[in-house]
Structure 1
Amino acid sequence: MNAVWYPSPSYTQGSHLERLMQALGLEDYDALYRFSVESPEAFWSKTLELLGIEWFQPYERVVDLSNGPQWPRWFVGGRLNLAHNATTRHAQGPKAQQLALIWEGEDGALVRLTYRELERQVAQTANALRRLGVRKGDRVGIFLPMLPETAISALAVARIGAIFIPIFSGYGAEAAATRLKDAGAKLLITADGFFRRGRAVPMKPTADEAVRLSGTVEKVLVVRRLGTNVAMEEGRDYVWQEVVPQEAPTAHTEAMDSMDPFMLIYTSGTTGRPKGTVHYHAGFPLKAAQDMAHLFDLRSGEVLFWFTDMGWMMGPWAILGALILGATVFLYEGAPDYPGPDRLWAMVERHGITHLGISPTLVRALIPHGTEPIQKHDLSSLRILGSTGEPWNPEPYLWFFEQVGGGRCPIINYSGGTEVSGGILGCTVYRPIKPTGFNTAVPGIKAAVLNEAGQPVTGQVGELAVLAPWPGMTKGFWQDPERYQRTYWSRFENVWVHGDWAMVDEEGHWFILGRSDDTLKIAGKRVGPAELESAATAHPAVREAGAIGVPHEVKGETAVLFVVLRPEFTPSESLAAEIADAVAEALGKPMRPERVHFVPDLPKTRNAKVMRRLIKAAYLGEPTGDTSALENPEALEPIRALAQGDA
Structure 2
Amino acid sequence: MDKLMLEHPLIPPTDALRATAPVNAQEAQRLLALDPAEYWLDLARELTWTTPPATALDGTLGEFQYYPGATGNVSVNCLDRHPPERTALRYEREDGQRETWTYGELTDATARFAAALQDLGVAKGDRVAIYLGNVPEAFIAIHACYRIGAIYSVIFAGFSASAVRDRLEDARPKAVVCTDATLRRGKTIALKATLDEAMVGLDIPHVVVARRVDPAFRLQAGEHDFHELLTATTRRADPVDLEANEPGFIIYTSGTTSKPKGLVHAGLGFLAGAYANVKWSLNLQADDVYWCTADVGWLTFPIFALVGGLAHGATHVIYEGGIDTPSPARPYDVIERYGVNKVFTAPTALRMLRRAGDAPLGGHDLSRLSLISLVGEPLDPETWHWTQGKLGAGRIFLNNTYGQTETGTAWASSMVGLTPTRPGSCGHPLPGYRARVVRDDGQQASPGELGALTLTEPFPCLARTVWGDHERYVQTYLSDFPGAYAASDAALIDADGLLWVTGRLDDVMNVAGHRIGTMEMEAALITHPAVSEAAVVAMPDDLKGSVPVAFVVPRGDAQPGPALEAELADAIVQGVGAIARPARVIVTSTVPRTRSGKIMRRLLRDLLISGEVSGDLTSLENPDAIDLVRARIADGRNGKPQGI
Equivalent residue, structure 1, for 2:17: 11
Structural mapping, 1:74-473, within 5 Å: 74-90=66-82, 95-212=83-200, 215-230=202-217, 232-235=219-222, 237-248=223-234, 250-317=236-303, 318-428=305-415, 429-456=417-444, 457-473=446-462
Aligned to 1:24: none
Contact 2:403 2:409 in 1 (8 A): yes
Q: 1:211 to 1:455 in 2, by over 3 A?
A: same
1:361, 1:610 within 8 Å by CA — same for their partners in 2?
Answer: no
2:628 maps to what in 1? 638
Q: Is the 8 A contact 2:401 2:427 kept in 1?
A: no
Q: Read off the aligned partner of 1:246 and give its amino acid letter.
A: A
Cα distance in 1 between the residues matched to 2:281 and 2:397: 11
Task: Give the 3 Å change call, closer, same or farther, for CA 84–341 of structure 1 in structure 2.
Answer: same
Kindly state the Cα deviation for residue 256 of structure 1 after the two structures are TM-superposed.
0.7
Deviation of 1:73 after TM superposition, in Å, equals 0.6
The 5-angstrom pairing of residues 620-639 of structure 1 reads 620-639=610-629
Give the superposition deviation at 1:631.
Answer: 2.2
Quote the residue 1:46 is aligned against. 42
Does structure 1 conserve the Cα–Cα contact (< 8 Å) formed by 2:508 and 2:516?
yes
Q: CA deviation at 1:259?
A: 0.8
Take 2:613 and 2:15, find their aligned partners in 1: how far apart are those partners?
53
- Aligned match of 1:60: 54
Deviation at 1:484, TM superposition (A): 1.0
Whole-angstrom CA distance in 2 between matches of 1:98 and 1:490: 47
* TM-fit CA distance, 1:70: 1.9
SS in 2 for 1:73: strand
Deviation at 1:622, TM superposition (A): 3.2
Is 2:488–2:505's contact at 8 Å kept on the other side of the alignment?
yes
| Cα distance in 2, alignment partners of residues 284 and 636 from structure 1 | 37
Matching residue of 2:642: none
Does residue 1:497 correspond to 2:486, yes or no?
yes
Whether contact under 8 Å (1:307, 1:607) holds in the other structure is no
Q: CA deviation at 1:14?
A: 3.6
Q: Distance in 2 between matches of 1:388 and 1:233?
A: 40
Alpha-carbon distance between aligned partners in 2 of 1:141 and 1:535, rounded to the nearest angstrom: 43
Partner SS, residue 258 of structure 2: coil
Matched AA of 1:225: R
Tell me by how many angstroms 1:438 deviates: 3.0
- 2:584 paired residue among 588, 595, 598: 595
Distance in 1 of aligned mates of 2:231 and 2:352? 41
Q: What is the alpha-carbon distance in structure 2 between the residues aligned to residue 316 and residue 449 of structure 1?
A: 28
Q: Which runs of 4+ in 1 moved over 6 A?
A: none
Which residue type is aligned with residue 583 of structure 1? I
How much does 1:15 deviate?
Answer: 2.0
Aligned pair in 2 of structure 1 residues 110, 4: CA closer, same or farther (>3 Å)? farther
Report deviation, 1:252: 1.5
Kindly indicate whether residue 554 of structure 2 is the aligned counterpart of residue 565 of structure 1.
yes
| Conservation of the 8 A alpha-carbon contact between 2:61 and 2:485 | no
The answer to whether the Cα contact below 8 Å between 1:419 and 1:473 also exists between their aligned partners in 2 is yes
Answering whether residue 61 of structure 2 is matched by residue 69 of structure 1, we say: yes
Tell me the distance in 2 between the aligned counterparts of 1:606 and 1:307: 13
Is residue 2:465 matched to residue 1:476? yes
CA distance in 1, matches of 2:326, 2:386: 22
Residues 489/221 of structure 1: CA separation in 2 closer, same or farther (3 Å cut): same
Quote the offset at 1:610 in angstroms.
Answer: 1.3
Give the C-alpha shift of residue 343 in structure 1: 0.5
Aligned to 2:569: 580
Q: Distance in 1 between matches of 2:470 and 2:289?
A: 38
Matched, 1:487 2:485: no
Of 223-232 and 354-363, more deviation after overlay is shown by 223-232
How far apart are 1:532 and its partner, in Å?
1.6
2:79–2:107: 8 Å Cα contact kept in structure 1? yes
The AA in structure 2 aligned to 1:299 is: Q
Q: Is the 8 A contact 1:289 1:322 kept in 2?
A: yes
What is the deviation of 1:520? 2.1
Distance 2:227 2:27 in 1: 52
**1:353-398 Cα distance to aligned partner (Å, 9 max, x none):** 1211222222222213211212321112212111111111111111
Q: What displacement does 1:4 show? A: 5.7
Structure 1 position 12, deviation (Å): 2.6
CA distance in 2, matches of 1:231, 1:623: 39
Native 8 Å contact 2:292 2:344 kept in 1: yes
Question: Deviation at 1:8?
Answer: 4.6
Encode CA deviations 1:285-332: one digit per residue, 9 max, x unaligned: 221110110222111121221211111111211211111111122211
> AA paired with 2:539?
V
Counterpart AA for 2:474: Q
Superposed CA deviations along residues 531-583 of structure 1, whole A, max 9, x for unmatched, are 22111122211111111111112112111111111111121111111111211
Query: Please, what is the CA RMSD of the aligned residues?
Result: 1.6
Tell me the secondary structure at the aligned position of residue 49 of structure 2: coil
Q: Per the alignment, in what secondary structure is the counterpart of residue 23 of structure 2? A: helix
In 2 relative to 1, CA 9–542 (structure 1 residues): closer, same or farther, beyond 3 Å? closer
CA contact (8 A) 1:163 1:262 kept: yes
Name the SS for the 1:385 alignment partner: strand
- What residue ranges of structure 1 are gaps of 5+ in the alignment? 22-26
Q: Tell me if structure 1 keeps the 8 A contact 2:399–2:427.
A: no
Farther off after superposition, 113-122 or 192-201? 192-201
- 1:118 partner SS: helix
- The whole-number CA distance in structure 2 between the counterparts of 1:216 and 1:495 is 40
Cα distance in 2 for residues equivalent to 1:316 and 1:541: 37
Secondary structure, counterpart of 2:128 in structure 1: strand
Moved more, 405-414 or 563-572: 405-414
Contact 1:410 1:433 in 2 (8 A): no
Find the aligned partners of 1:108 and 1:350 in 2 and give their Cα distance: 12
CA distance in 2 between partners of 1:231 and 1:175 (Å)? 25
Q: Shift of residue 28 of structure 1?
A: 4.3
Name the aligned partner's letter for residue 321 of structure 1: G
- SS of the residue corresponding to residue 88 of structure 2 reads strand
**Within 2, Cα distance between the matches of 1:4 and 1:286?**
30
Give the 3-state SS of the residue equivalent to 2:31 in structure 1: helix
Shift of 1:420: 0.4
In the alignment, the residues of structure 1 paired with residue 158 and residue 532 of structure 2 have an alpha-carbon distance, to the nearest angstrom, of 25
**Count of residues in Structure 1 that have an aligned counterpart in Structure 2:** 627
Is the 1:420–1:474 Cα contact (8 Å) retained in structure 2? yes
Identity %: 34
